[in-house]
Copies of this chain bind each other. A is one copy, B any other.
Amino acid sequence: MVENKIKSSISLIRHLLEPSSIAVIGASREPGKVGYSIVKNLLDGGFKGKIYPINPTAPEILGLPCYKNVKEIPENVDTALISIPARFVIDAIKDCGEKGVPVVTIISAGFAEIGEKELQKNLVETAHKYGVRIVGPNTFGVYRPSKGMSATFCVPYEYAGGLALTCQSGGVGMGILGYARSRRVGLSALIGFGNKCDVNEIDVLEYFAQDEQTKAIALHAESIIDGRRFIDVASRVTKIKPIVLLKAGRTSYGFKAASSHTAAIGGLDQIVDAAVKKAGVIRAKGLEEFFELGRALAMLPKPKGENVLIVTGAGGLGVLLADACEEQGIKLMDIPKDLEEKFRKYIPPFGSFKNPIDITGASPPETYKDCIDLAIRDERVHGVIVGYWHTLITSPMDFAKVVIEVVKDARKDGIEKPIVVSLSGDVEVEEAAKLLEDNCILAYPYAPEKAVTAIASVFRWAKYAGLIG
Protein backbone atom coordinates (compact mmCIF):
# COMPACT_ATOMS: atom_id res chain seq x y z
CA MET A 1 0.00 0.00 0.00
CA VAL A 2 2.69 2.49 0.97
CA GLU A 3 4.85 2.66 -2.09
CA ASN A 4 6.86 5.80 -1.69
CA LYS A 5 9.22 6.59 1.14
CA ILE A 6 9.60 9.86 2.98
CA LYS A 7 11.68 11.93 0.59
CA SER A 8 14.92 13.63 1.50
CA SER A 9 14.54 17.29 2.28
CA ILE A 10 15.87 18.76 -0.97
CA SER A 11 14.06 16.39 -3.27
CA LEU A 12 10.86 16.83 -1.25
CA ILE A 13 10.87 20.61 -1.60
CA ARG A 14 11.69 20.24 -5.28
CA HIS A 15 8.34 18.47 -5.67
CA LEU A 16 6.67 21.29 -3.77
CA LEU A 17 8.30 24.25 -5.54
CA GLU A 18 9.14 22.86 -8.98
CA PRO A 19 6.21 20.58 -9.74
CA SER A 20 5.49 19.42 -13.27
CA SER A 21 1.96 18.59 -12.18
CA ILE A 22 -0.37 19.74 -9.42
CA ALA A 23 -3.63 18.18 -8.29
CA VAL A 24 -6.22 20.47 -6.71
CA ILE A 25 -8.38 18.35 -4.39
CA GLY A 26 -11.58 20.26 -3.78
CA ALA A 27 -11.41 22.28 -7.00
CA SER A 28 -14.65 24.15 -7.58
CA ARG A 29 -16.56 25.73 -10.47
CA GLU A 30 -18.04 28.43 -8.24
CA PRO A 31 -16.27 31.83 -8.23
CA GLY A 32 -15.74 32.94 -4.64
CA LYS A 33 -14.99 29.42 -3.43
CA VAL A 34 -11.47 28.66 -2.24
CA GLY A 35 -11.23 25.64 -4.58
CA TYR A 36 -12.06 27.89 -7.53
CA SER A 37 -9.56 30.60 -6.60
CA ILE A 38 -6.72 28.07 -6.39
CA VAL A 39 -7.27 26.81 -9.94
CA LYS A 40 -7.77 30.32 -11.23
CA ASN A 41 -4.58 31.61 -9.59
CA LEU A 42 -2.59 28.74 -11.11
CA LEU A 43 -4.01 29.48 -14.57
CA ASP A 44 -3.75 33.29 -14.29
CA GLY A 45 -0.18 33.12 -13.03
CA GLY A 46 0.80 31.17 -16.14
CA PHE A 47 1.83 27.96 -14.38
CA LYS A 48 3.52 25.86 -17.06
CA GLY A 49 2.97 22.39 -15.59
CA LYS A 50 -0.19 20.29 -15.62
CA ILE A 51 -3.15 21.18 -13.41
CA TYR A 52 -5.55 18.39 -12.40
CA PRO A 53 -8.73 19.61 -10.71
CA ILE A 54 -10.27 16.92 -8.49
CA ASN A 55 -14.04 17.13 -8.05
CA PRO A 56 -16.47 14.23 -7.72
CA THR A 57 -19.20 15.76 -9.92
CA ALA A 58 -17.84 18.47 -12.22
CA PRO A 59 -16.70 17.35 -15.71
CA GLU A 60 -14.39 20.33 -16.07
CA ILE A 61 -13.28 23.48 -14.21
CA LEU A 62 -12.07 26.62 -15.99
CA GLY A 63 -11.54 24.52 -19.12
CA LEU A 64 -9.51 21.82 -17.39
CA PRO A 65 -10.88 18.27 -17.34
CA CYS A 66 -11.70 17.02 -13.84
CA TYR A 67 -10.96 13.77 -12.08
CA LYS A 68 -13.13 12.23 -9.38
CA ASN A 69 -10.13 11.12 -7.37
CA VAL A 70 -6.42 11.87 -7.43
CA LYS A 71 -5.80 8.16 -7.99
CA GLU A 72 -7.51 8.34 -11.39
CA ILE A 73 -4.94 10.74 -12.79
CA PRO A 74 -3.05 8.75 -15.46
CA GLU A 75 0.29 10.53 -14.93
CA ASN A 76 2.63 11.34 -12.04
CA VAL A 77 1.52 14.01 -9.59
CA ASP A 78 4.29 16.02 -7.90
CA THR A 79 2.16 17.77 -5.36
CA ALA A 80 -1.46 18.36 -4.36
CA LEU A 81 -3.36 21.22 -2.81
CA ILE A 82 -6.21 20.21 -0.56
CA SER A 83 -9.22 22.40 0.07
CA ILE A 84 -12.07 20.25 1.38
CA PRO A 85 -13.79 20.15 4.78
CA ALA A 86 -11.38 19.07 7.54
CA ARG A 87 -13.14 15.80 8.24
CA PHE A 88 -12.49 14.51 4.71
CA VAL A 89 -8.83 15.48 4.58
CA ILE A 90 -7.42 12.26 6.04
CA ASP A 91 -9.07 10.17 3.33
CA ALA A 92 -7.69 12.49 0.68
CA ILE A 93 -4.22 12.07 2.20
CA LYS A 94 -4.57 8.28 1.94
CA ASP A 95 -5.48 8.67 -1.73
CA CYS A 96 -2.44 10.89 -2.28
CA GLY A 97 -0.25 8.31 -0.59
CA GLU A 98 -1.58 5.56 -2.79
CA LYS A 99 -1.08 7.71 -5.85
CA GLY A 100 2.51 8.41 -4.77
CA VAL A 101 2.15 12.16 -4.20
CA PRO A 102 5.14 12.96 -1.95
CA VAL A 103 4.00 16.30 -0.53
CA VAL A 104 0.64 18.06 -0.16
CA THR A 105 -0.36 21.53 0.94
CA ILE A 106 -3.46 21.53 3.11
CA ILE A 107 -5.32 24.82 2.73
CA SER A 108 -8.29 23.55 4.75
CA ALA A 109 -8.73 24.96 8.24
CA GLY A 110 -10.45 23.20 11.12
CA PHE A 111 -7.53 21.53 12.88
CA ALA A 112 -5.40 22.49 15.90
CA GLU A 113 -6.16 26.19 15.42
CA ILE A 114 -9.77 25.60 16.49
CA GLY A 115 -8.79 23.08 19.15
CA GLU A 116 -8.98 19.95 16.98
CA LYS A 117 -5.57 18.73 18.07
CA GLU A 118 -6.46 15.04 17.91
CA LEU A 119 -7.64 15.34 14.32
CA GLN A 120 -4.39 17.04 13.39
CA LYS A 121 -2.37 14.35 15.15
CA ASN A 122 -4.22 11.64 13.22
CA LEU A 123 -3.63 13.56 10.04
CA VAL A 124 0.13 13.57 10.51
CA GLU A 125 0.27 9.93 11.56
CA THR A 126 -1.77 8.85 8.55
CA ALA A 127 0.30 10.97 6.18
CA HIS A 128 3.58 9.52 7.40
CA LYS A 129 2.17 6.00 7.23
CA TYR A 130 1.30 6.69 3.62
CA GLY A 131 4.62 8.34 2.83
CA VAL A 132 3.15 11.79 2.41
CA ARG A 133 4.57 15.01 3.85
CA ILE A 134 2.28 17.91 4.75
CA VAL A 135 2.58 21.68 4.41
CA GLY A 136 -0.10 23.25 6.61
CA PRO A 137 -2.89 22.69 7.42
CA ASN A 138 -4.63 26.06 7.65
CA THR A 139 -2.26 27.80 5.26
CA PHE A 140 -2.69 30.29 2.42
CA GLY A 141 -0.41 28.15 0.24
CA VAL A 142 2.84 28.26 -1.68
CA TYR A 143 4.31 30.68 -4.25
CA ARG A 144 7.08 30.13 -6.79
CA PRO A 145 6.95 33.25 -9.01
CA SER A 146 9.64 32.06 -11.46
CA LYS A 147 7.35 29.16 -12.38
CA GLY A 148 4.24 31.32 -12.53
CA MET A 149 3.01 29.34 -9.55
CA SER A 150 0.63 31.00 -7.11
CA ALA A 151 -0.71 27.88 -5.40
CA THR A 152 -3.05 29.77 -3.11
CA PHE A 153 -6.60 30.98 -2.71
CA CYS A 154 -5.26 34.44 -1.80
CA VAL A 155 -3.82 37.02 -4.15
CA PRO A 156 -1.32 35.88 -6.80
CA TYR A 157 2.25 37.22 -6.83
CA GLU A 158 4.33 37.66 -9.94
CA TYR A 159 7.68 39.34 -9.17
CA ALA A 160 10.40 36.68 -9.31
CA GLY A 161 13.66 37.41 -7.55
CA GLY A 162 16.17 36.34 -4.95
CA LEU A 163 14.34 36.31 -1.62
CA ALA A 164 12.90 33.08 -0.22
CA LEU A 165 10.32 33.64 2.52
CA THR A 166 8.47 31.36 4.87
CA CYS A 167 5.93 32.25 7.53
CA GLN A 168 3.75 30.70 10.17
CA SER A 169 0.72 32.94 10.03
CA GLY A 170 -1.72 33.89 7.32
CA GLY A 171 -2.00 37.39 8.72
CA VAL A 172 1.73 37.85 8.57
CA GLY A 173 1.94 36.14 5.17
CA MET A 174 -0.52 38.55 3.60
CA GLY A 175 1.43 41.43 5.12
CA ILE A 176 4.56 40.01 3.56
CA LEU A 177 2.92 39.92 0.13
CA GLY A 178 1.61 43.45 0.40
CA TYR A 179 4.93 44.79 1.52
CA ALA A 180 6.76 42.82 -1.17
CA ARG A 181 4.46 44.20 -3.85
CA SER A 182 4.65 47.73 -2.50
CA ARG A 183 8.46 47.61 -2.44
CA ARG A 184 8.59 45.46 -5.58
CA VAL A 185 10.65 42.75 -3.92
CA GLY A 186 11.43 39.77 -6.17
CA LEU A 187 10.70 36.47 -4.44
CA SER A 188 12.15 33.05 -5.22
CA ALA A 189 9.46 31.46 -3.05
CA LEU A 190 6.91 32.14 -0.34
CA ILE A 191 5.71 29.25 1.79
CA GLY A 192 2.99 29.51 4.41
CA PHE A 193 3.36 26.79 7.03
CA GLY A 194 0.06 27.53 8.76
CA ASN A 195 -0.32 25.13 11.69
CA LYS A 196 3.07 23.64 10.71
CA CYS A 197 2.11 20.09 11.67
CA ASP A 198 4.85 18.45 9.58
CA VAL A 199 7.08 20.24 7.02
CA ASN A 200 8.72 23.28 8.65
CA GLU A 201 11.40 25.88 8.02
CA ILE A 202 14.21 23.43 8.77
CA ASP A 203 13.07 21.21 5.89
CA VAL A 204 13.33 23.99 3.34
CA LEU A 205 16.70 25.45 4.33
CA GLU A 206 18.84 22.96 2.42
CA TYR A 207 16.69 23.32 -0.66
CA PHE A 208 17.08 27.09 -0.62
CA ALA A 209 20.83 26.74 0.00
CA GLN A 210 21.22 24.94 -3.34
CA ASP A 211 18.49 26.82 -5.22
CA GLU A 212 20.12 29.10 -7.78
CA GLN A 213 17.34 31.67 -7.69
CA THR A 214 17.53 32.15 -3.94
CA LYS A 215 20.05 34.71 -2.71
CA ALA A 216 18.76 35.09 0.84
CA ILE A 217 16.29 33.33 3.14
CA ALA A 218 13.86 34.99 5.55
CA LEU A 219 11.94 32.92 8.10
CA HIS A 220 9.02 34.07 10.27
CA ALA A 221 8.35 31.52 13.01
CA GLU A 222 6.30 31.46 16.19
CA SER A 223 7.89 28.19 17.22
CA ILE A 224 11.04 26.33 16.25
CA ILE A 225 9.98 22.70 16.47
CA ASP A 226 13.45 21.16 16.84
CA GLY A 227 15.87 23.81 18.04
CA ARG A 228 18.94 21.59 17.91
CA ARG A 229 18.31 20.51 14.34
CA PHE A 230 17.49 24.06 13.31
CA ILE A 231 20.82 25.32 14.62
CA ASP A 232 22.66 22.40 13.03
CA VAL A 233 21.16 22.95 9.58
CA ALA A 234 21.16 26.76 9.78
CA SER A 235 24.87 26.84 10.73
CA ARG A 236 25.71 25.08 7.51
CA VAL A 237 23.31 27.04 5.32
CA THR A 238 24.41 30.46 6.57
CA LYS A 239 27.91 29.72 5.32
CA ILE A 240 26.38 29.69 1.84
CA LYS A 241 23.45 32.11 2.03
CA PRO A 242 22.24 34.60 4.62
CA ILE A 243 19.25 33.73 6.81
CA VAL A 244 17.07 36.32 8.56
CA LEU A 245 14.82 35.13 11.36
CA LEU A 246 11.79 36.88 12.83
CA LYS A 247 11.02 34.83 15.92
CA ALA A 248 7.60 35.94 17.06
CA GLY A 249 6.46 35.28 20.60
CA ARG A 250 9.87 36.25 21.96
CA THR A 251 8.60 38.22 24.96
CA SER A 252 6.37 36.88 27.70
CA TYR A 253 3.38 38.81 26.33
CA GLY A 254 4.15 37.58 22.84
CA PHE A 255 4.79 34.04 24.00
CA LYS A 256 1.43 33.86 25.75
CA ALA A 257 -0.23 35.15 22.60
CA ALA A 258 1.63 32.60 20.45
CA SER A 259 0.59 29.73 22.72
CA SER A 260 -3.04 30.54 22.18
CA HIS A 261 -2.51 31.21 18.47
CA THR A 262 -0.63 28.18 17.11
CA ALA A 263 -0.13 26.27 20.34
CA ALA A 264 3.55 27.03 19.85
CA ILE A 265 6.02 25.98 22.50
CA GLY A 266 8.85 28.48 22.54
CA GLY A 267 12.10 28.41 24.46
CA LEU A 268 13.58 31.11 26.60
CA ASP A 269 14.31 33.95 24.28
CA GLN A 270 17.87 34.43 25.49
CA ILE A 271 18.63 30.81 24.58
CA VAL A 272 17.07 31.21 21.16
CA ASP A 273 19.03 34.39 20.71
CA ALA A 274 22.40 32.92 21.65
CA ALA A 275 21.91 29.78 19.56
CA VAL A 276 20.71 31.70 16.56
CA LYS A 277 23.63 34.12 16.73
CA LYS A 278 26.07 31.24 16.97
CA ALA A 279 24.54 29.79 13.82
CA GLY A 280 25.13 33.05 11.96
CA VAL A 281 21.44 33.77 11.60
CA ILE A 282 20.53 37.47 11.52
CA ARG A 283 17.64 38.22 13.81
CA ALA A 284 15.06 40.87 12.89
CA LYS A 285 13.41 42.91 15.64
CA GLY A 286 10.14 43.50 13.82
CA LEU A 287 8.23 42.78 10.65
CA GLU A 288 9.55 45.76 8.74
CA GLU A 289 13.16 45.02 9.59
CA PHE A 290 12.51 41.39 8.61
CA PHE A 291 11.35 42.50 5.15
CA GLU A 292 14.04 45.10 4.73
CA LEU A 293 16.93 42.88 5.78
CA GLY A 294 15.69 40.05 3.59
CA ARG A 295 15.38 42.38 0.63
CA ALA A 296 18.83 43.90 1.17
CA LEU A 297 20.53 40.55 1.64
CA ALA A 298 18.91 39.23 -1.54
CA MET A 299 19.99 42.25 -3.59
CA LEU A 300 23.39 43.41 -2.33
CA PRO A 301 26.53 41.76 -3.74
CA LYS A 302 28.98 40.05 -1.40
CA PRO A 303 31.59 42.41 0.04
CA LYS A 304 35.31 41.67 -0.34
CA GLY A 305 36.42 43.48 2.80
CA GLU A 306 35.03 45.57 5.64
CA ASN A 307 35.91 49.15 4.67
CA VAL A 308 32.86 51.34 4.18
CA LEU A 309 32.91 54.91 2.91
CA ILE A 310 30.16 57.52 3.25
CA VAL A 311 29.80 60.20 0.56
CA THR A 312 27.24 62.81 1.60
CA GLY A 313 25.88 66.07 0.25
CA ALA A 314 24.66 67.19 3.68
CA GLY A 315 26.82 67.26 6.78
CA GLY A 316 23.83 66.67 9.06
CA LEU A 317 22.86 63.58 7.14
CA GLY A 318 26.48 62.40 7.36
CA VAL A 319 26.31 62.63 11.15
CA LEU A 320 23.15 60.50 11.29
CA LEU A 321 24.65 57.97 8.87
CA ALA A 322 27.85 57.79 10.92
CA ASP A 323 25.87 57.25 14.14
CA ALA A 324 23.95 54.41 12.53
CA CYS A 325 27.19 52.87 11.18
CA GLU A 326 28.71 52.64 14.63
CA GLU A 327 25.52 51.18 16.07
CA GLN A 328 25.40 48.58 13.32
CA GLY A 329 29.04 47.59 13.62
CA ILE A 330 30.12 48.99 10.27
CA LYS A 331 33.76 49.94 9.90
CA LEU A 332 34.18 53.43 8.45
CA MET A 333 37.57 53.37 6.74
CA ASP A 334 40.25 55.94 7.41
CA ILE A 335 40.69 57.77 4.12
CA PRO A 336 44.22 57.15 2.77
CA LYS A 337 46.14 60.34 1.95
CA ASP A 338 46.22 59.67 -1.80
CA LEU A 339 42.48 59.10 -1.91
CA GLU A 340 41.86 62.28 0.08
CA GLU A 341 43.91 64.21 -2.49
CA LYS A 342 41.70 62.82 -5.24
CA PHE A 343 38.55 63.93 -3.41
CA ARG A 344 40.03 67.40 -2.90
CA LYS A 345 40.04 67.91 -6.65
CA TYR A 346 36.24 67.77 -6.74
CA ILE A 347 35.03 69.14 -3.41
CA PRO A 348 34.98 72.77 -2.14
CA PRO A 349 37.65 73.40 0.53
CA PHE A 350 35.00 73.82 3.26
CA GLY A 351 33.78 70.25 2.64
CA SER A 352 34.97 67.38 4.83
CA PHE A 353 37.69 64.95 3.74
CA LYS A 354 37.33 62.60 6.64
CA ASN A 355 34.82 59.77 6.46
CA PRO A 356 31.93 60.80 5.98
CA ILE A 357 33.20 62.67 2.94
CA ASP A 358 31.01 65.81 2.82
CA ILE A 359 30.80 67.24 -0.68
CA THR A 360 28.51 70.04 0.70
CA GLY A 361 25.09 71.22 -0.42
CA ALA A 362 26.74 73.54 -2.95
CA SER A 363 27.62 70.55 -5.14
CA PRO A 364 26.15 70.00 -8.59
CA PRO A 365 25.32 66.50 -9.90
CA GLU A 366 28.83 66.25 -11.41
CA THR A 367 30.42 66.37 -7.96
CA TYR A 368 28.19 63.56 -6.71
CA LYS A 369 29.13 61.63 -9.83
CA ASP A 370 32.87 62.14 -9.55
CA CYS A 371 33.01 61.39 -5.84
CA ILE A 372 30.80 58.30 -5.93
CA ASP A 373 32.84 57.06 -8.86
CA LEU A 374 36.06 57.56 -6.89
CA ALA A 375 34.64 55.62 -3.95
CA ILE A 376 33.28 52.76 -6.02
CA ARG A 377 36.43 52.29 -8.07
CA ASP A 378 38.95 52.43 -5.23
CA GLU A 379 39.89 48.85 -4.36
CA ARG A 380 40.39 49.70 -0.70
CA VAL A 381 36.73 50.67 -0.41
CA HIS A 382 34.44 47.64 0.01
CA GLY A 383 31.07 49.30 0.45
CA VAL A 384 29.60 52.76 -0.21
CA ILE A 385 26.82 54.69 1.53
CA VAL A 386 25.62 57.73 -0.40
CA GLY A 387 23.75 60.54 1.37
CA TYR A 388 21.80 62.91 -0.88
CA TRP A 389 20.49 66.34 0.06
CA HIS A 390 17.74 67.85 -2.04
CA THR A 391 18.91 71.33 -3.16
CA LEU A 392 18.15 73.70 -5.99
CA ILE A 393 21.52 72.81 -7.52
CA THR A 394 21.01 69.06 -7.63
CA SER A 395 17.44 67.83 -8.03
CA PRO A 396 16.49 64.35 -6.79
CA MET A 397 16.06 62.97 -10.30
CA ASP A 398 19.34 64.46 -11.56
CA PHE A 399 21.05 62.89 -8.57
CA ALA A 400 19.44 59.51 -9.20
CA LYS A 401 20.50 59.58 -12.83
CA VAL A 402 24.17 60.18 -12.08
CA VAL A 403 24.21 57.45 -9.44
CA ILE A 404 22.68 55.00 -11.90
CA GLU A 405 25.25 55.97 -14.53
CA VAL A 406 28.20 55.57 -12.18
CA VAL A 407 27.02 52.22 -10.81
CA LYS A 408 26.20 50.87 -14.29
CA ASP A 409 29.60 51.87 -15.64
CA ALA A 410 31.31 50.22 -12.69
CA ARG A 411 29.25 47.06 -13.15
CA LYS A 412 30.29 46.96 -16.80
CA ASP A 413 33.88 46.97 -15.61
CA GLY A 414 33.15 44.06 -13.30
CA ILE A 415 33.03 46.17 -10.15
CA GLU A 416 30.28 44.93 -7.83
CA LYS A 417 30.23 46.13 -4.27
CA PRO A 418 27.43 46.84 -1.79
CA ILE A 419 26.06 50.36 -2.22
CA VAL A 420 23.04 51.97 -0.59
CA VAL A 421 21.56 55.43 -1.03
CA SER A 422 19.91 57.59 1.65
CA LEU A 423 17.85 60.53 0.35
CA SER A 424 16.83 63.58 2.35
CA GLY A 425 14.51 66.12 0.80
CA ASP A 426 10.99 66.94 -0.27
CA VAL A 427 8.62 64.25 -1.57
CA GLU A 428 10.33 64.07 -4.97
CA VAL A 429 13.04 62.01 -3.29
CA GLU A 430 10.52 59.15 -3.18
CA GLU A 431 10.38 59.10 -6.99
CA ALA A 432 14.14 59.30 -7.22
CA ALA A 433 14.40 56.35 -4.82
CA LYS A 434 12.02 54.37 -7.03
CA LEU A 435 14.13 55.11 -10.10
CA LEU A 436 17.25 53.97 -8.26
CA GLU A 437 15.57 50.74 -7.17
CA ASP A 438 14.32 50.10 -10.70
CA ASN A 439 18.02 50.03 -11.51
CA CYS A 440 18.81 47.61 -8.69
CA ILE A 441 20.27 50.22 -6.36
CA LEU A 442 18.80 50.11 -2.86
CA ALA A 443 17.50 53.56 -1.90
CA TYR A 444 15.86 54.89 1.28
CA PRO A 445 14.01 58.21 1.42
CA TYR A 446 13.99 60.13 4.74
CA ALA A 447 15.39 57.36 6.99
CA PRO A 448 19.23 57.23 6.89
CA GLU A 449 19.27 54.53 9.58
CA LYS A 450 17.39 52.18 7.24
CA ALA A 451 20.04 52.48 4.54
CA VAL A 452 22.73 51.69 7.08
CA THR A 453 20.86 48.75 8.62
CA ALA A 454 20.50 47.30 5.13
CA ILE A 455 24.15 47.48 4.13
CA ALA A 456 25.30 46.43 7.62
CA SER A 457 23.43 43.14 7.31
CA VAL A 458 25.49 42.00 4.33
CA PHE A 459 28.76 42.82 6.10
CA ARG A 460 27.61 41.00 9.22
CA TRP A 461 26.71 37.95 7.19
CA ALA A 462 29.94 38.06 5.17
CA LYS A 463 31.93 38.02 8.41
CA TYR A 464 30.08 34.99 9.65
CA ALA A 465 30.44 33.19 6.34
CA GLY A 466 34.20 33.82 6.45
CA LEU A 467 34.19 35.96 3.30
CA ILE A 468 35.82 38.87 5.15
CA GLY A 469 38.04 39.06 8.24
A residues engaging B (CB < 8 A)? 32, 113-115, 155, 167-175, 177-179, 181-182, 220, 222, 248-254, 256-258, 260-262, 285-288, 291, 312-327, 332, 349-350, 352, 354, 356, 358, 361, 387, 389-392, 423-430, 445-450
Contacts and interface: CB of A to CB of B under 8 A. Distances in A.
Given A171-B314, A171-B315, A320 B427 contact: no
A287 B320 contact: yes
A286 B178 contact: no
A350 B86 CA distance: 15
A285 B424 CA distance: 17
Contacts of A250: 323
Count identical subunits in the complex: 2
A250 B425 CA distance: 23
Given A288-B450, A449-B287, A260 B315 contact: yes
A253 B323 contact: yes
B174 A389 contact: yes
B358 A261 contact: yes
Contact of A287 (B115, B181, B446): B446
Contacts of A447: 286-288
A322 B288 contact: no
A167 B389 CA distance: 15
Given A260-B354, A313-B171, A332 B253 contact: yes
A288 to B, nearest CB: 4
B316 A222 contact: yes
Contacts of A258: 319
16 contacts: A170-B316, A171-B424, A177-B426, A179-B445, A182-B427, A222-B319, A249-B323, A253-B325, A254-B320, A257-B318, A257-B319, A257-B321, A257-B354, A286-B447, A286-B450, A288-B446
